[in-house]
Amino acid sequence: MRDPNRSWRRPSPVGLVAGGLVIAGFALTAIDWGFIVLVGLGTFGPGILREMGWLRDKDEFQLQAARRAGYHGFLAAGLMAFVLMAYYRSHETVTGDPGPAVELVLAVLWFTWLLSSLLAYWGARRMATRILLIFGGVWLLFVAAGSMGEGSLTGFIMQSLLTVPFFGMAWLARRWPRVAGAFLLVCSAFFFWFFGLYEVVTDPFGRGKAMVIIFFVGPLLTSGIGLLGVEREDQSDEA
C-alpha cells in the first residue's frame, strides 16, 4: 500500500524551476537552437546536484524511484544506440547530419526516464489518467486555436469530439483499469498502423516517425501495459 503522507502530489520548487527551464529551452529554439542546452539543464541538472549532495529535496522513496527510472533510461538509450550503430554500419552509404540520430537517443533516454518516474511516483492508474487528460486537453487547445482562425463553431464542436476517447479512457482507467489498459493497447496498435509508423523500420529518421512513436504512442502503450498489471487489491490504494 502506498504511504498517503508522501508529498509527490505537489510539485517542488526545484521541479518547477526545472520544468520552467525545459519549457523555456524548447520555446527559445525558435530563436536559436543553442537554447536547447536549457532543456538539458532542466532535465539532468537537479539529478546531478542530488548525486553531488548539494540538493536534498527528495525522500528515500523518491530517490529510489528516480534512480530506478535512470537505470531504465540507460537501458533504453543504450539499446537504441546499438540499434543506430547497426543501422549505420550496415548501410555504408548513409551519410549526412548526425543530429537526428543524437536527438533520437536523447528522446528515448528522456522519455523512458520520465514515464518510469511517473509510474513509480503515481502508480499505473493515476499516471494513465493524467496522461490521458493531458492528451485530451492539449488536443482540445489545438482544436480551439485552429477554430479561432476559422471562426467556425460547428467545426470546433466536430473536431472536439476527437478528444472524447481520451477523456473517456481517463475515466475508465479509474473505474476499470484492466479494461482501459486493453483499450489503450488496441489504440496504440491502431495509431501505429494509421500513421504508418511501421515504416520506421526502413527509414528511422523519415518524417519524424520515430519521434511520434516515442512521444505519442509511447505514453499510451506504457499506460496500457501498466494498467493491465494493476491487481484488484491495489485498485483501492491508487484511487
Tens of pLDDT, residue by residue over 20-72, are 998 898 889 889 888 989 988 988 888 888 888 888 888 888 888 888 888 88
- pLDDT > 70: percent of the chain: 76
pLDDT of 106 reads 84
160 in Cβ contact with 140 (< 8 Å): yes
Q: Is 203 left (phi over 0), alpha (psi -120 to 50) or beta?
A: beta
3-state SS, residue 59 = coil
**Residue 237: all three cell numbers together:** 490504494
Mean pLDDT of 204-233: 76
Q: How many other CB atoms are found less than 10 A from the CB of residue 157?
A: 11
Query: Cα 229 vs. chain centroid, distance in angstroms?
Result: 19
Q: What is the mean pLDDT of the chain?
A: 78
d(CA 71, CA 74): 5
pTM greater than 0.75: no
Tell which wins on pLDDT, 139 or 22: 22
DSSP 8-state symbol, 24: H
Q: Specify the pLDDT at position 165.
A: 82
Query: What is the structure's pLDDT at 38?
Result: 92
Where would I find the H helices in 91-123?
99-122
Pick 197 or 105 by higher pLDDT: 105
What angle, rounded to 10 degrees, do the helices at 124-150 and 218-228 form?
150
- Banded model confidence at residue 233, pLDDT cuts 50, 70, 90: very low
Under 8 Å between Cβ of 148 and 197: no
Rounded to an integer, what distance in angstroms lies between the CA atom of residue 159 and that of residue 23?
27
Q: Delimit the domains of the chain by residue range.
A: 1-58, 60-238
**Alpha carbon distances (Å) from 177 to 130, 219, 230, 239:** 13, 15, 7, 10
The stretch 125-137 carries a mean pLDDT of 87
Residues 6 or more apart in contact with residue 6 via CB below 8 angstroms: 59, 61, 62
Is residue 239 predicted with pLDDT exceeding 70? no
pLDDT for residue 81 = 84
